[in-house]
Amino acid sequence: MNEKLIVTAVNFLKNPKVQSAPKEKQIEFLKKKGLNDEDIAEAYKRVESSSKTEMATSLAPSPTLATQVPSYSSLKTTTLGLDRRGLTVLPPLIGISHLRILVISNNEFVSIPKEINLLQDLEILNASHNKLKNDGIPDELFDLSSLSYLNLAHNELTSLERFGRFLRLEKLNVAYNSIEEIPDEICYMQELKYLWIQNNKLKKVTKYLGLMSSLRMALLLGNEDLPELLKNATTKNLHAILDTLK
């Protein structure tokens, strides 16, 4: 058998236009190119075998998301966007300690890995539009001293417990969750300037919120159980309103 001619014939027979032609025309053409009956039979055999392999591959279960997502340890970038990928797990974070912006929004995350504490230079984390619950937020996240903006909107949070540990956080977006209370410990967030907490299930707001000198905006709209005055409060009158409601 002529191996070189067979390989050429296999590539020829895989062409969609060739496959749509009658088989006798295919064979006639191959014979004109110098292939004998044995060569042609071998070429068809290889094409058939290749087609079966491709079909089996397409029907095989997808690999885990962990293997689908490449490692980014060799990258020098300071920004990493992994949004809208249907991810349930993060790629390895080792080796990207220089990262400053991480976007993992619009995925299927139920938790943030403890290894997040490897990103000590991280300033912005957008994990909105996932399935994060409070027990999926590791203590290690609160140890990121460089973090200034955290977006956890559109998740499944019910509490701001432990959030008082964010001593340097400036912007916190927890809108569209199921949070029921803004606790007293929020006052420990002395750098907090913007708080988006609209469309939750707030029933109680600590009076200390209005005493936070750094706070420029606290958006409380869409919390139906709050008094109307509080829903429409501004940072200028927030303390006075909270004082009347205590």
pLDDT in tens, 192-210: 999 999 999 999 999 888 8
**pLDDT exceeds cutoff 90 at 124:** yes
pLDDT in tens, 126-138: 999 999 999 999 9
Alpha-carbon span 36 to 39, nearest angstrom: 5
CATH architecture of 3-59: Orthogonal Bundle (1.10)
For CATH 3.80.10.10, the residue range(s) in the chain are 65-245
End-to-end CA distance of the chain: 93
Maximum separation of any 2 CA atoms in the chain, in Å: 98
DSSP string, 115-155: GGGG-TT--EEE--SS---GGGS-GGGGG-TT--EEE--SS
Task: Report residue 234's pLDDT band, with 50, 70 and 90 as the boundaries.
Answer: low
The pLDDT of residue 61 is: 40
The pLDDT of residue 76 is: 64
DSSP string, 173-184: E--SS---EE-G
Q: Which long-range contacts (CB under 8 A, 24 or more apart) does 57-66 make?
A: 64/89, 65/89, 66/91
The pLDDT of residue 103 is: 96
Domain 65-245 falls under CATH 3.80.10.10: yes
Q: Which of 9-18, 174-183, 237-246 has the lowest mean pLDDT?
A: 237-246
pLDDT in tens, 132-158: 999 999 999 999 999 999 999 999 999
pLDDT in tens, 75-89: 567 999 999 999 999
Task: Report residue 64's pLDDT band, with 50, 70 and 90 as the boundaries.
Answer: very low
Alpha-carbon span 19 to 224, nearest angstrom: 65
